[in-house]
Structure 1
Amino acid sequence: MAVVGIALGAVAVLALLVYVHRYVWRRFVGDTTAAGSPLRRAGTVAAYTLPLLSVGALVSGRSGAPFWLQQVLAWPGYLWLAALLYLTLALLVGEAVRPLLRRLLARRAAAGTPAAPTQTQAQAHAETQAMATTTPQAAAPAPAPAPAPVSTPVSAPAPAPAPAADPSRRLFVARAVGGAAAVAGLGTTGYGAYGVLRGPRVKRVTVPLARLPRSAHGFRIAVVSDIHLGPILGRAHTRRIVDTVNRTQPDLIAVVGDLVDGSVDDLGPAAEPLAGLRSRHGAFFVTGNHEYYSGAAQWVDHVRELGLHPLENARVEIGGFDLAGVNDIGGESEGHGPDFGRALGDRDRTRAAVLMAHQPVVIDEAVEHGVDLQLSGHTHGGQLWPGNYIAELSNPTVAGLERYGDTQLYVTRGAGAWGPPVRVGAPSDITVVELASRQA
């Protein structure tokens, strides 16, 4: 039954994509170009090619395609998915504008057309013309007065049929709305891509912990998540992140999962700059769900070689608090899921505890084990608006700091992007969490 459900879901998604592409083609190409024109042919080719590139980008990594092919497909394929979203949203807004624009143009056309003469005016004009064409004669005896004409009712003239819509007006409206939608959709996509490629910005948050001793007051943790090294974001992206983290001069660095989308063989060189991370107490790492799509065991070994300390359901004492880490729930299928008992079960509960866990959904376990602060990522803050509303359906917190009982949960939006290298309404960040003691 599960297989049938997945198959039906895939068919539904495919049907939706076909419909959306057909709609986008009609509004941008079919309504704005002449049949057989070069522009229409080019638009039609693009309408078939771009979705194929998107499908290729999505399946090439999971199918084991060569990494160079993944890189070739990823840029146009993933960017088109983001562009399709915002072009479609812009066109839907245009559907509301379209009838208003048609009505405005129709009124302007009607105001510029001369009014038709009334029946009385027409009769007077005809009599004047008849008198003007009569040849003057010598004066003649005045004729006898004619009998008064019998008045007959004159029926009102039938209204003229409404003129058919002007084809040139329809074309103007289609091109105006389509052009505005293209500028809005592509402009939004371009700005969102610039935000990702520019690199994450630093965000600072102060979190008071009841059990944190005065000696640890002001302890700063640089939280980094969802870097997503892959066929688009590579070594230069890693270098930007490392430089940004090091400039904050943190006491500790927490890399909270989803470091990569690919194997160590393909992405090992892209991850190498992580060896340059610097902090007083070192850098720590926990797995995310994407590590389990990419060979989690190999990546855990590799980040250890780069100088990071993996916390695989483990705990260390850092100054005045415990730092614990659990594997991502994506590892359950491999028998390496989160084990809170192993990471936190035998600790001294008089000490404050900070937990690194990739997904916010494990907050209930954190509350049960007396964690003071959980650091998570995974959601990307929604990444592409209105994706934040979808992310809210499956995550207790999408971004920011919230309290659950005696436990606080902080969720970073992440430092990279999955799929389209585009963020809209959810800028990437590296968060410096400053711990505050209530005894200070």
Structure 2
Amino acid sequence: MPRWASLLLFFIPVLLLLVGAHVYLFRRLVRDVTEHRGLRRAAGALFTVGFAGAFGARALGAVLPSAASRVVGIVFLAWIGLVLYLLMFTLAADALRTVARWRARRQAASGAEPSEPASPERRALLGRGLALGAGVAGASVTGFGTWRAFHPPDVRDIPVRLPGLPKALEGFTLVQLTDIHIGGVLQRRFVDELVSRTNALKPDLIAITGDLVDGSVETLGPFVAGFGALRARHGAFFVTGNHDYYSDADAWVAFVKSLGIQVLRNRSVTIGDGAASFQLAGVDDWSADRLGEPGYDLDAALRDVRPDRASVLLAHQPSNFDEVARRGVGLQLSGHTHGGQMFPGTIVGDLIWGSRNAGLSRTEQSLLYVSRGCGFVGPPMRVGAPSEIARLVLLPG
């Protein structure tokens, strides 16, 4: 399927959902709550601008200075998240009202006297209270999620028993960065903070497992250049993610290499010396072939990987891990899922990926670690899936 057709199939349902959400929220949180014409007009203008901005922020940002473009992007992307949470809480409030009405009708049908006579004034007051509660709850979750998204990722320590790891490498620290999504919102300041936190861990090796950027080298190169300051005893390594392909993966691979970061495109290298070593392999993104690129080639990546030695595979997506486990790879590091990023996306992610949505899981004798990622995509929010810098401490299996 052509990419334009895939985008169309994605954006049409999203457009319809946003239209319906804006109309419903205006009716429930504004029209049904106040008869003040000024307030209704102001709220109507806010909803109209918010809806238009959600789809036009990119075009508007293209004609604004970079600083203003970033602010516009943050505001309108956050608006989408706010609408999502207002919708969730307002639907929940309406469900409570529906249950209360059903119970009252059932009580009346049974002939029992209601404990307190219902009145239009009481119903209106209850409706306003529920609407206010839904609005406050939605705004509170949005505020927390936005703060959490821009807060530097926490360090998450994960001890991993890697089959075949030499005793001499016990305690080897591998720091994983993934799904950073440098773009119109996350820029150089975020990069510098991420690099500083990573270097402070004094890692033996750094792995960047894809979705580094959302944009061109020309636009984002000055921001991404900050990753040239990453320091690890055995260096930093990069594999491509699907968003890197949306942004011209070949150009980004060349740029990343210029920063002194090694790129593993369906190949492997040896980390360490002699018997005190393990094999590190990397594959291009699983979905690259759907974008007309050569893409994922597990056979090529594992061609020189010996089954009797410890091995680690860098792969952006946790897809195809059953086959990776069948090949006897000891550990795969992935990202892509963001752990769902925002509730209820966390639940959807668990339904799609199961135990592979986030964290450490095992298939046969092979381990998979899926990081929730460092950045975000879409609304600048993290709710129920905090961002992370994963520090994996390797131990003999």
What TM-score results when the alignment is normalised by the length of structure 1? 0.79
Q: Give me the whole-angstrom Cα distance separating, in 2, the residues matched to 1:417 and 1:268.
A: 19
* 5 and 181 in structure 1: CA distance in 2 versus 1, 3 angstrom threshold: same
Q: CA deviation at 1:99?
A: 6.3
Structure 1 residues 122-161: aligned runs within 5 Å: none
> Which residue in 1 is equivalent to 2:177?
224
> Which residue in 2 is equivalent to 1:302?
255
Q: CA deviation at 1:67?
A: 7.8
Q: What SS does structure 2 have at the residue aligned with 1:32?
A: coil
Q: Give me the whole-angstrom Cα distance separating, in 1, the residues matched to 2:158 and 2:24.
A: 44
> Which residue in 1 is equivalent to 2:47?
47
- Does residue 321 (structure 1) correspond to residue 278 (structure 2)? The answer is yes
Q: Give me the whole-angstrom Cα distance separating, in 2, the residues matched to 1:231 and 1:368.
A: 40
Q: Deviations over 1:32-67 (max 9, x none)?
A: 1215x211001111122111111124x649x98778
Q: CA deviation at 1:23?
A: 1.1
> Which residue in 1 is equivalent to 2:109?
none
Q: CA deviation at 1:236?
A: 0.9
Structure 1, unaligned runs of 5 or more: 104-161
Q: Give me the whole-angstrom Cα distance separating, in 1, the residues matched to 2:72 and 2:126.
A: 35
> Which residue in 2 is equivalent to 1:29?
30
Q: Give me the whole-angstrom Cα distance separating, in 1, the residues matched to 2:255 and 2:376.
A: 22
Which of 323, 330, 334 is matched with 2:287 structurally?
330
* 356 and 66 in structure 1: CA distance in 2 versus 1, 3 angstrom threshold: farther
Give yes or no for contact 1:224–1:430 (8 Å, CA) kept in 2: yes
Give yes or no for contact 1:260–1:294 (8 Å, CA) kept in 2: yes
Task: For 2:85, give the aligned amino acid.
Answer: Y
- Does residue 370 (structure 1) correspond to residue 323 (structure 2)? The answer is no
Q: CA deviation at 1:334?
A: 3.2
Q: Give me the whole-angstrom Cα distance separating, in 1, the residues matched to 2:128 and 2:313.
A: 55
Q: Deviations over 1:76-96 (max 9, x none)?
A: 221011111111111122124
CA RMSD of aligned residues (A): 2.7
* 45 and 306 in structure 1: CA distance in 2 versus 1, 3 angstrom threshold: same
Q: Give me the whole-angstrom Cα distance separating, in 2, the residues matched to 1:377 and 1:4.
A: 26
Structure 2, unaligned runs of 5 or more: 103-115
Q: Give me the whole-angstrom Cα distance separating, in 2, the residues matched to 1:49 and 1:79.
A: 13
Largest Rg, 1 or 2: 1
> Which residue in 1 is equivalent to 2:340?
382
Which of 414, 427, 431 is matched with 2:373 structurally?
414
Give yes or no for contact 1:373–1:410 (8 Å, CA) kept in 2: yes
* 369 and 171 in structure 1: CA distance in 2 versus 1, 3 angstrom threshold: same
Task: For 2:299, give the aligned amino acid.
Answer: G
Q: Give me the whole-angstrom Cα distance separating, in 1, the residues matched to 2:197 and 2:8.
A: 44
| Matched residue count | 378
Q: CA deviation at 1:73?
A: 3.9
Task: For 2:52, give the aligned amino acid.
Answer: L
Q: Give me the whole-angstrom Cα distance separating, in 2, the residues matched to 1:21 and 1:430.
A: 36
Give yes or no for contact 2:335–2:373 (8 Å, CA) kept in 1: yes
Task: For 1:22, give the aligned amino acid.
Answer: V
Q: Give me the whole-angstrom Cα distance separating, in 2, the residues matched to 1:100 and 1:7.
A: 38
Task: For 1:209, give the aligned amino acid.
Answer: L
Task: For 2:35, give the aligned amino acid.
Answer: A
Task: For 2:285, give the aligned amino acid.
Answer: D
Q: CA deviation at 1:70?
A: 5.3
Structure 1 residues 25-104: aligned runs within 5 Å: 25-34=26-35, 37-57=37-57, 60=59, 68=66, 71=70, 73-98=72-97
Q: Give me the whole-angstrom Cα distance separating, in 2, the residues matched to 1:215 and 1:406.
A: 22
Q: CA deviation at 1:324?
A: 0.6
> Which residue in 1 is equivalent to 2:317?
359
Q: Deviations over 1:309-330 (max 9, x none)?
A: 1111111101221011100023
Q: Give me the whole-angstrom Cα distance separating, in 1, the residues matched to 2:343 and 2:15.
A: 22
Which of 136, 140, 162 is matched with 1:209 structurally?
162
Q: What SS does structure 2 have at the residue aligned with 1:422?
A: coil
* 353 and 64 in structure 1: CA distance in 2 versus 1, 3 angstrom threshold: farther
Q: Give me the whole-angstrom Cα distance separating, in 1, the residues matched to 2:118 and 2:92.
A: 26
